[in-house]
Amino acid sequence: MTPHVLVIGGGQNAEHDVSLETAAAIEGALRSRGFKASTITIGRDGRWRQGEEPLGESAADSLVASLPFLARADVVFPAIHGPLGEDGTLAALCALTHKPVVGSGICAGAIGMDKLATKLVAEAIGIRTALGRLVHAADVGDIEFETEVVVKPVSAGSSYGVTLAREAGQLGEALRTAAHYDDRILIEHVVHGREIDVAVLREADGSRWAPSPLEIHADGLFDTATKYNGTARFTVPADLGSTDRAALTQAALRMFDALGCAGVARMDFFLTDDGPVLNEVNTMPGMTAESQVPRMFAAAGVPYEELVARLIDAATVPAARPKPIDVVLEEGPRRVLDAIDGERAGSYV
């Protein structure tokens, strides 16, 4: 029997509109493949809606009213990017109600959404990340630096709140911008290299694979405006030598496994002269037909509608146990976040 899929879109964060586009595209793809699909939306105010009208007067009331829709579904496709969606929140709701869910589970979503936690995992398995410093929004007035840095909220998506501060006078405004999205902020050294994305898909049989990577071409920082105003260009597949391609693919697969991801995830790297440097992980990446992940799979011979169908197939069969990966810290505690300008700051594993 063809499963009934409930797509959840919208969300209570800055990526609300992007998520609506993703949800609409996914529902259309499902219908084109013969699935019974319906969509429910979470508004910016937290109230659940089917159509234009909220299902209740409060977020709690509307959630209760949405449960019959969840109960009737065979599988849930949470198409919400960012906090209170991609971060494991909806995966937790599905776990509590025993509903199969497309994509990563609670732990992988929560860690992948947290850029600091992601850095700790990456460094633990030998994947380099940008040197940086964690600060709190309450302390932004006391921060100084003497080099070019990127400032970003720890938990946000679509590059919201991300700023390139080229000189000391720009840092304060960059920190205040990031603080609109999270109380925790990363200040990272600029990494000079090519921007390369790698997508990883876990199939219904438990196998996972990565199509050829994609390269992003942007003038300056690949920020929110550049992502959505059409000025960025993509090369699919990226023009890479076999050594670089293998290094990027292996790093992406190792991160996917270390986080315990499922469904599809996108790993964003900088390719430097010394190899890949992980930028971030997206456990619910953009999923319109024109988004980076579907472009990579389309170039590998998997059209958008088929990719969406494979995600449903993978969600409706018992998960295969992934092979364990080796995590070895041979030198005791190791600094993961280095200091900027000689200040002692950072976290250890």
* pLDDT tens profile 209-240: 999 999 998 775 555 555 555 567 899 999 99
Give me the chain's average pLDDT, please: 87
Judge whether residue 80 has pLDDT over 70. Answer: yes
Judge whether residue 43 has pLDDT over 80. Answer: yes
Higher-confidence residue of 40 and 225: namely 40
- The domain defined by 111-127+192-315 carries CATH number 2.60.40.10: no
- Before 3, cis peptide (omega within 30)? no
What mean pLDDT is predicted for residues 279-294?
94
pLDDT in the model for residue 257? 96
Higher-confidence residue of 349 and 129: namely 129
pLDDT in the model for residue 30? 97
pLDDT in the model for residue 195? 95
Judge whether residue 271 has pLDDT over 50. Answer: yes
What mean pLDDT is predicted for residues 96-118?
95
The rounded distance, in Å, linking the Cα atoms of 82 and 94 is 17
Per the structure block, which two tokens stand in for 62?
Answer: 């509307």
Report the percentage of the chain scoring pLDDT > 70: 86
pLDDT in the model for residue 219? 72
Contact 265, 200 (CB under 8 A): yes
Contact 255, 236 (CB under 8 A): no
Taking residue 133's Cβ as centre, other Cβ atoms within 10 Å add up to: 22
What mean pLDDT is predicted for residues 86-92?
95
What mean pLDDT is predicted for residues 114-140?
91
The rounded distance, in Å, linking the Cα atoms of 324 and 8 is 32
Closest listed residue to residue 115, CA positions, set 86, 172, 154? 154
DSSP 8-class letter at 15: T
Closest listed residue to residue 327, CA positions, set 53, 33, 123? 123
The segment(s) of the chain belonging to CATH 3.40.50.20 are 4-101
Looking only at the bridges linking them, the beta strands covering 149-153 and 184-189 are antiparallel
pLDDT in the model for residue 227? 52
pLDDT in the model for residue 158? 62
Higher-confidence residue of 281 and 223: namely 281
pLDDT in the model for residue 146? 66
pLDDT in the model for residue 346? 37
Span of 17-21, 141-145, 220-224 with lowest mean pLDDT: 220-224
CATH no. of 4-101: 3.40.50.20
The segment(s) of the chain belonging to CATH 3.30.470.20 are 111-127+192-315
What is the model's pTM?
0.86
Judge whether residue 171 has pLDDT over 90. Answer: no
Per the structure block, which two tokens stand in for 207?
Answer: 């196998």
Contact 234, 295 (CB under 8 A): yes
Under CATH, which architecture does the 130-189 domain have? 2-Layer Sandwich (3.30)
Judge whether residue 33 has pLDDT over 70. Answer: yes
The segment(s) of the chain belonging to CATH 3.30.1490.20 are 130-189
Judge whether residue 300 has pLDDT over 70. Answer: yes
